[in-house]
Chains A and B, each alone.
Chain A
Amino acid sequence: MTLLCTVAVPAFGQGPQRLVSVTLHDLRTSAPISGALIVVERGESLRTDSVGIATFPARTDSVWLDVRALGYMRWQGYRSTADARIRLSLEPAATLLQTVEVRSRALGTGSAFQSAAVIGSEQLAERMAPSIAAVIAAEPGVNVRTNGPMASQPVIRGLTGDRVLVLEDGMRTGDIATTAPDHAVTVDPATARRIEVIRGPAGLLYGSNTLGGVVNVVRDDIPRTRAEAVQWDVSTFGEQVNRGVGGSARLHGGVGSLAWSVDGTGRQAADTRGPNNRALPFTDLEGFDAGAGLAVVGAQGHAGVSAREYRSYYGVPSSFAGVTLPGAHDGGVYVDIRRSAARADAEWRPEHGMVEAVSVGGNGVRFEQSEFEQGGFVGTRFGQLAASGEAVVRLRAGGHRGAIGAYSQWRDLRAQGSFTGTRPAVQRTNAVFAVDEYTRGRVTLLAGARMDRITTRPLDSTESLLLRNVRSRAFSAVTGAVGARVQLTTALSATVQAARAFRPPSIEELYSAGPHLASYAYEIGDPGLEAERGTGTDAVLRWEGARGRVELAAYTMQVQDYVAFAPQVDSSTGLPLRDPRLRRYVVYRPTQVDAQLAGAELRAVVAPSPRWLIDLGADLPRGAQRDGTPLPAMPSASTRLDVRYVRRALTLGFVADARYAQNRVPVAPVQESVTCDVVVRDGEAQALPAEFCATPGALLMHAMVTWRVPNAARLRWPTTLTLTVDNLFDRTWRDPMWRAKQVAPQPGRNVRLMLQVVR
C-alpha cells in the first residue's frame, strides 16, 4: 500500500483562519476520488466532492487526518499545514469495495436513489471483455444479450435494447446499438476508467429510454483535473478462448492551467470457441478506439473539447457444429463500424451564492455501419449523424441541492442495401427538467419532473405489402421521480423511490420492413405504435461499514404499452411465419401489451478479515404480461459468489456463478412436429423461435490470480499481472436471450492474462 499525502493548512494563530483543501487522486489512474471520508483530528468529518476535493478551516500547524475511501487503502497520519493545498494519491485496495456513487450533470456526484453499482479499474482489468455488456454482466440485475462477442448488449432487470441507455461521460453515444441484437455498443471497455450502472427507471436525470436503467462509461475524455506530471498507464492482454490479443494506453498531463489526455486501445481475436474447443464460426473481431481531450482547468471550473474515433470489424455467427442457425445466412455476416465523435464541455462553479455550478455540454457523432454478406457485398448499410446538447444550472441553498436544465438531441438515420429493413428517418428530442434534493438531519428527499417531446419523421414514406400508413409521429411526456433516503444509523440507510419514465417507439419499431440477416429476422414495424410508459418503485436497503457494504433492492415496474417484437407463428400450420419476400426469415412484429416487471437483487461485499473478501450477488428478475403470460427473452435468476484471499502482493479469487434455468417462456401455438429441438430439413435448420423455448441452467466456476510485482512498485512503476480463468470446467451453458441459443452455446473455458503498468 502506498498513500502519499500532502496537506497544506495555514497555522492556527498565525493570522486569520484559512481554508485548506485536500485533493484525493487514484494513484494509478489519477482520477479524482469522490465521496471519500476525511476525518480531521478534532472530529470534523468531510466528504470529497465530484472532483475529489474537500475543504476545511485550519487551526493548527499540523493536522491528523484519517482518510477512508471505499476501494482504497486507509491512510492515517499527521501532515504539515504550511501549504494551503494537500494532494493525496491513494492506492486502490485489492478488494472489490468500490464507492457506489454515480455522476450526473444535474446532481454532480452522489448516491443514487436507486440500486446502483460501480465497476472500478481493478474489476475492469479482471473482466477485459470486448463489450461493455460483458464487463458489467457480473453485477446483480445485469445480464448480457449476446450475438457474438462484439454484438453484446446490456440487459438490466430484463430490459434491453432501446430501454437501457448507454452513455459515455454522461452523453449519448450516437450509435445504433440499441436497434438490433447484432449491433455493437461503440465504446471499448478498455478505455473506461469506471462504469456506473443504475438499475431501474432513471428518466429524471438521464431522459427517455431509461426504463431498464443506465450504463455510464466514465472516461473523462475532457480532463477535469490538472496533472502536475505526465501520468500514464499501459495494459496488454491475451486470451485463449478466441486467441485474442489487445492493449491500451493512456496519458494524462498538464501545462499551466491546461490539462490534456490521450488514450487508445486496440484488440484482435479469432473465432470464439465453445465447450470442447468447438469454434463458433464468424465470431472473429478487430477494432480500435482512440481519443484525445484538452481542457482549461481552474479553481472554479473547466472548459474543454475532445475527439474520439472508433472502428470495429466483427462477425455475427451463423452456424455451429455444421448446423446453420435457424434463419441465419450461410456465410455469416460481417459488420464494419466507424464512429467519429467530438465533444465540448464546460463547468463554472462560482465561489459564492446559491448557484453551485453552471454546466453546458454537447457532442456530435458521425456513425457508419456496413453489414457484409457472403461474397463481400453490402447487405445493409446504416449511416447516422447525431448531435445533442445539455445545459444545467445546479443550485444549493440551505439543505437543498437541485438543478434546472434543458436537453436537446437530433439524429438523422439512413439505411440502404439489399436487405434493408430500416427506413431513413429524422428524430428530434427536446426536454426541460428540474430536480431538488433536500437533506435535513438523517433524511434526504428527492423530487423532480421532466418534460420531453420527441418527433420522428420518416424520410421515405413509401408503403409496402406489410407496412402501411407510414407517417410522422410525435410523443410528449411528463415524467419524474420522488424519493426518500433515511440514514437509519451511521452505516445503514434505506431508500425508496417512485419514478415514471417513458420511451417512444424507435425508428425501427415504427418503420421497419425487411429482412435483418444478422438478427435472423424479418422485421415489420408499426407506424401506429404508442409510447411505452413505465411506473416503477424501488426500495433499497444499504449498509456501508468499515468491513464492507451490503445492498438489498426490491423493485416493481408496470409498463403500459410495452412493445414486444415477437416472432409470428402461423396458427394454421403451427410453423413460424416466414417472410413473403425470401421465405427464409421468421417474421417479427411489434405488439403492445401491458407488462409488469418485478424482482429483487442482493449485493454483499464483506471483508471479514484483512485477508479475506467475500462478494455475494444474486438477482431474481420476473417479467410478464398482465394476464400472466411471461415476456419473451427474459434473463434467468442467478447467484454469484466471489471469494478473494489477499496475501502481500498476491490476490487469489474463486467464483461460483449459478445461472438458473429459464422455464418461464410464452407458449407457442405449435404442431407436435415442431419443437424447440433443431431439425435439419433440406439443409436448413428448423425449430421454434427461441423466444418460446426454455433454457437449461448451469453452474460455472471462474478463478483468478492477481500479482502486484513488488520490485516494480518500488521503482514507482506499479505493475500488476492478472490471470483469470472463466468457465474453469468448460461447462456448456446457453444465453436465454439469444435467438440462436438452441444451436450455439456460450464460450467454453477461457484463460486470460493481463499486464498493467501505471506511472
Chain B
Amino acid sequence: MMRWRRAIMLLLLPMLTACEHPLGLVSSHVEAADLVVADSLGGVLTRTELNRTWRVDSLHLRDDVPLRVVLTALDFRGDALDLSERSDLSFRMEAEHAALVQWEPQRGFGWIRPFGRGETRIRFLIWHGDHTDFVTPWLRVIIDSP
C-alpha cells in the first residue's frame, strides 16, 4: 500500500509542478514618464522632458567631491511616484566611462562619485528585479579640478 502511495505521489508531483504558474507573482511595472535629479536641499539640478531630453543637458562635478542627489520618478501626470514601499525596485546609474564616475546608492538618495578629471555620459535606470522599467537619455557629466 505504501509503495502505491509513493508511486501516486511521484506521479502527482510533476502535475502539481505543472500547475504552478511559470511567472508566479508579477509585481506591477513602474510606469514612470520622467525623472527629476535634485540636490540634497531639494534644488532641481536637471530633469527629463517626456524622457526625450534633459532640461539641463550636463552635470558639472569637481574631482574628488561627490554629489549627493535625490532621484524622483514622475508618472505621466507629473506626480511623484512613491517607490519607497517597493523593495523590488531600485535606482541605478550607468556611466559610459565607469572609471570616471560611479553611483553609490543610499536609502532615499545616492552619491555620484567622481574619480578623476574628464567627461563622460551617464544615465539613470529604475531597476526592477532582473530588468529595467525605466531608462533615461544619456546625460553629459563634466568633472573639473577641485
**Quick check: is A459 within 8 A (CB to CB) of the other chain?**
yes
For the complex, give the distance between the alpha carbons of A522 and B53 in Å. Answer: 19
* CB nearest neighbor in B for A418: B131
Question: Interface size of B by Cβ–Cβ distance < 8 Å?
Answer: 24
Q: Identify B52's interface contact among A342, A367, A583, CB under 8 A.
A: A583
List, in ascending order, chain B residues with CB within 8 A of A424's CB: 23, 26
**Quick check: is A85 within 8 A (CB to CB) of the other chain?**
no
**Quick check: is A412 within 8 A (CB to CB) of the other chain?**
yes
Q: Interface readout for A564-603 with B: 1 if CB under 8 Å, 0 if not?
A: 0000000000000000111100000000000000000000
List, in ascending order, chain B residues with CB within 8 A of A377's CB: 130-131
* CB nearest neighbor in B for A578: B52
**Quick check: is A18 within 8 A (CB to CB) of the other chain?**
no
Contact A416 B18 (CB under 8 A): no
Contact A366 B52 (CB under 8 A): no
Contact A581 B23 (CB under 8 A): no
Contact A385 B29 (CB under 8 A): no
* CB nearest neighbor in A for B21: A385
Known contacts A367-B22, A383-B21, A412-B21; is-contact A463 B29 (Cβ 8 Å): no
Q: Identify B18's interface contact among A364, A412, A414, CB under 8 A.
A: A364
* CB nearest neighbor in A for B137: A583
Q: Identify A414's interface contact among B23, B75, B132, CB under 8 A.
A: B23
List, in ascending order, chain B residues with CB within 8 A of A382's CB: 23
Known contacts A418-B131, A580-B51, A581-B51; is-contact A462 B22 (Cβ 8 Å): no
Contact A416 B15 (CB under 8 A): no
Q: Name A's interface SS.
A: strand
List, in ascending order, chain B residues with CB within 8 A of A364's CB: 18-19
Q: Interface readout for B41-59 with A: 1 if CB under 8 Å, 0 if not?
A: 0000000001110000000
* CB nearest neighbor in A for B133: A418
Q: Interface readout for A360-381 with B: 1 if CB under 8 Å, 0 if not?
A: 0000101110000000011101
List, in ascending order, chain A residues with CB within 8 A of B135's CB: 582
Q: Interface readout for B25-51 with A: 1 if CB under 8 Å, 0 if not?
A: 010110101000000000000000011
Q: How far is the CB of A281 from chain B (nearest CB, A)?
A: 24
For the complex, give the distance between the alpha carbons of A460 and B23 in Å. Answer: 14
Q: How far is the CB of A278 from chain B (nearest CB, A)?
A: 34
Q: How far is the CB of B77 from chain A (nearest CB, A)?
A: 9
Q: How far is the CB of B124 from chain A (nearest CB, A)?
A: 14
* CB nearest neighbor in B for A459: B26
For the complex, give the distance between the alpha carbons of A463 and B19 in Å. Answer: 30
Contact A463 B76 (CB under 8 A): yes
For the complex, give the distance between the alpha carbons of A582 and B21 in Å. Answer: 31
List, in ascending order, chain B residues with CB within 8 A of A366's CB: 18-20, 22
Contact A383 B31 (CB under 8 A): no
Contact B131 A417 (CB under 8 A): yes
Known contacts A377-B131, A417-B131; is-contact A368 B22 (Cβ 8 Å): yes
List, in ascending order, chain B residues with CB within 8 A of A420's CB: 29
For the complex, give the distance between the alpha carbons of A368 and B21 in Å. Answer: 9
Q: Interface readout for B121-138 with A: 1 if CB under 8 Å, 0 if not?
A: 000000001111111000
**Quick check: is A465 within 8 A (CB to CB) of the other chain?**
yes
List, in ascending order, chain A residues with CB within 8 A of B23's CB: 368, 381-383, 414-416, 424
**Quick check: is A340 within 8 A (CB to CB) of the other chain?**
yes
Q: How far is the CB of B115 from chain A (nearest CB, A)?
A: 25
Contact A384 B22 (CB under 8 A): yes
List, in ascending order, chain B residues with CB within 8 A of A583's CB: 52
Q: How far is the CB of A337 from chain B (nearest CB, A)?
A: 11
Contact B51 A414 (CB under 8 A): no
List, in ascending order, chain A residues with CB within 8 A of B131's CB: 377-379, 416-418
Q: How far is the CB of A116 from chain B (nearest CB, A)?
A: 34
Q: How far is the CB of A500 from chain B (nearest CB, A)?
A: 35
For the complex, give the distance between the alpha carbons of A462 and B29 in Å. Answer: 8
For the complex, give the distance between the alpha carbons of A107 and B51 in Å. Answer: 57
Contact A462 B31 (CB under 8 A): yes
Q: Interface readout for A405-433 with B: 1 if CB under 8 Å, 0 if not?
A: 00000001011111010001000000000
For the A-B complex with A364-B19, A460-B28 known, give 14 more contacts whose Cβ atoms are closer than 8 Å: A340-B18, A364-B18, A366-B22, A367-B22, A368-B22, A381-B23, A384-B22, A415-B26, A416-B131, A460-B26, A460-B29, A464-B31, A465-B33, A580-B51
The 8 closest A-B pairs by CB, nearest first: A383-B22, A383-B23, A465-B76, A464-B31, A418-B131, A368-B22, A414-B23, A460-B28
Subset of 25 A-B contacts with CB under 8 Å: A364-B18, A366-B18, A366-B19, A368-B22, A377-B130, A377-B131, A379-B131, A382-B23, A384-B22, A385-B21, A412-B21, A414-B22, A414-B23, A415-B23, A416-B23, A416-B129, A416-B131, A459-B26, A460-B29, A462-B28, A462-B29, A463-B76, A464-B31, A580-B52, A582-B135
